[in-house]
Every structure is written in C-alpha cells, then in structure tokens.
Structure 1
Amino acid sequence: MRDINRTPDTGSDDQNSEKTSRSEALRTWWNDAWTDGGVLHGMWDDVRTAPNDGWHGMAHWIKAVLGAAGVAFVILLLHSAASVLLGTLHDILTATPDMQVGTDTSTGVWATIDQPVRSYITSHTTGLPISASTVYTLWQATGFLALVGGFITRNSGLRLTWLGFGAATVAMIWTATPDTSRTIAAGIAALAWMLLSAFALRGLRLRRPSITHVTTTGPAIRPEIHIPAQATPADTKPIKPYRT
C-alpha cells in the first residue's frame, strides 16, 4: 500500500478568522459610536435635546427626517382623499339615468335649449367608453360651476370657461335643432347666455383705465423764503445825546 500525504484543510479556519475579525471590528465601532463624541451618541443627544431646542435650534438631520415624514403623510392623505373624491364623483355621474333622444318631457323655453343638447350628446357619444348621461351631467356641472364661480371669485379662468360653455351650447343647439326652427332656438339660447353672462362676468372692464398726465411749460417756481441778515449787538454803534 502506498502512503498518501494529506495536507490540512485551512479554508474553514480562514473563514472563521475573517468572521471573528468582522465581529470584533463591528463591536469596536459600536462601542466607539456610543462614547462621547461618537456618531450614535451625538445623534441621541440631538434627539434628547430637540424638545428644548425648538424647531430653529434642533439638528438639521432631525428637521430633514421630520420634513420627509410630513411630506409622506400629506401625500398619503391626498391619495386617500383623491380616491374617495373620485369614487364619489363616479357614483354621482353614473347615478343619472340613461338618456335617449326624445325622452325629455320638459316644455317651454328650457326645453328649447335642453332637448337639442340632449339629442346632440346622445347621438355623438356612440362608441365612447363614457355614457351620454355622464356627459350631460358634466355639461351641467361645468356651466353651473363656471357661472357661480365667475360671479363670486371673478376668476379669469372660470370666466373663460363660461364663455366656452356658452359658445359650445349654442353650437350644439344650432346643430341638433331642425332647419325650420334652428335660428329661433339658437337665438333664444344666445339671449339666455348673454343674460347669465351679466352675472358670470360681473365687474369685467373692456377698457383700460385712462391716466391723465398734466405737464407745465412755464418756469419752475421754487418756494423759498429769504430772511434779511439781522444786525448783531457788536455791529451797533451807541447813539450820542443831542445837544442844543
């Protein structure tokens, strides 16, 4: 039999020594960090004194953490509010019954304006992922918000929205009304839009205020007061008595 010389396996010993050195290095860093002047000791001291230091006196890294937490909370709150608002708006819009051409039973002036709009929306929403009832509700909500918002806030954007809403309404009425009564229906809609515009465009001025400049061509007058020089006691001479 041949003798086989086996070399000792030193790989496991090297790995154990590396783990031990890393553990010792981590323990050393941990102990140094909690000593006076260490990183963790300084951070803990900043946290401990933050209530007494106030916002202006606390450490900057605490302000950054609090600011990031506040921003994250606001984003989460807005996300939740937006989800609730969109869900409520969807329920309101889908609660309107389905519209069809000629199903409106209103009469009078409002029917002259409303029925052509209903017919136009119903005939032009075929194939869209949104229903005609939802579009009709959005049309009404847009006009109401533009009218009331323009009257209360006098916002230029809301006023432009009201102008666009009125022009689109008159165009829909002109298109959906039969040829024999198209002119009358569009005229009634335009008159109603103009009357309501007096409220939506309240305080609007088309002319810029004129500023009058007054210029004088004569010589400039400088109001000055000249006081004559007064005689001092040293400059006065004694008065001699008069002898006869």
Structure 2
Amino acid sequence: MPTNGQHRPNSILDLLEQPPPPAVEDATRLARLRTAWRESWEEGGFLYQRWEEVLQARHAGWHEIANWIKAAGLLAGVCLIVIMVDAASDITSAALKGLSAVPASDAGAGHGLWGTVDHPVRVFLAQQAAHLPLAPAALYAFWQLTGLLGLIGGFFGNAGARIAWTLFGCGSLAMVWSASPAGGRAAATGLAALMWALASIFALRGLTLRPVVHNHPPQFQPQFNPALHIHATIPAPTPAGDDYDDEPDSIHPLQR
C-alpha cells in the first residue's frame, strides 16, 4: 500500500514484477552474452563446427568444402580481381600517357646499337601516320606496348601473347628493312633479328617443336575369356534283365 506517496511492495510477486535496475539489467545481458559465447565454442556449438569446417577445408576437395567457405572464397576472389583490374587500368593509362609523350622520331635517336633498330621504326611509323587519323606518338606507344605485353605474357606461357610476340617481331623486321638506309639495310635488319631472337629466349621459354604424344590407356578394355563348352549325350543305363535285341526294329529304347 502507498506510504507517504510511495508504493511499497507487500509480497514477493510485487518484487518480481518490478523491472530490475539498469545496472542489474546490463550485468544480466553481459552474462548471457558470455554464456552464449562460451557455449558456441563447446563441442557441437555453432562456432566450434565452423572452425572444424575451416580446418577440414585444407585437406578436402572442392566438393567437400562447406558452402559458406566456397561463397566467401569466391567473393574474396571477385573483389581481388576488381581491385587488380582497376589498378592495372590506372597503370596502363599512365604508361600510355608516358609513352605518348615520347616523340615519334628523333634525329639523334639513330646512334648506338638500340638506335639503329629503334630509329627506323620511328621513322616508318611517322611516315605511315601521315596517311592515318593517328598521331605518330600513338602508333609508337602501341608498338612498344604490344612488344612489352608479348614479352611478359610469353614468359608466363600464354599462347596468345606468344603469337603477338611473333607478329611483333616480324613487323619490326619489316619496318627496319623499309626505313633503314639502303647501304646499311641488311645490317640493320640482321641486328634487329638478333635482338629479337635474344628476347625470344624469355618470351618463348619452354616452347618446343616436338610433337607432344600422350599415351593414355583406353578407358574401356574388352576382356576375352575363351572357354570351350562340350555337350555330351549320355545314354540311359539299360535295366537289368531287359534285352531289346528280341524286339522289333521299329521299337527303340528311349534315350535321354
């Protein structure tokens, strides 16, 4: 009953119905969370089972791995691919801008071993760009990028990159032959061929002209088990005391 304007509980039920103080409620919630966390790591708990699936995934095949691990791995792989593609696009854009800033032809670029091969290429591209809606620097940058990608991709065994590297070398030799001075055309082209052959050691690493023969046993091997089957007819034994000689010829004993 209320006393001095305050309600005093007069039974145990009234005490249970009253809401607990905030401090007691927070302590109860924290105790429940600790209990749930401890029980989830016990044998048969949720986190215990997930951790066992992670440990088993190291030695299990793809079909035996838990579905949530597959989904997490695929999601992480997609995110990694997106990040790598974004970074590669930025690097490629910066490289193209840097290569485009290089002049297509330089009067002093024809000196030296590399200039003997590179200068005719620049001159050839500059001459061809005059008839195309492209800048000479763009053609030269594309030529350099094709060679770089063919060299790197061929080193890692990519078939398309090796084809691009082969076409890059043939085209470079043709450009050197066309734009080199007439007196040193053969020497410049031969030098370019040697430099391309040396670089092909890395671009065509592991490539062989021998045919690869795979000897795989046939999946189905017929088995022959010869067997000889002999069918013999065994006459029935003649009963004792029965003589068929004195019977007419039209009557014969029954044979099995």
**Scaled by the length of structure 2, what TM-score is found?**
0.45
By relative contact order (CA 8 Å, sep 6+), the higher-ranking structure is 1
**Scaled by the length of structure 1, what TM-score is found?**
0.47
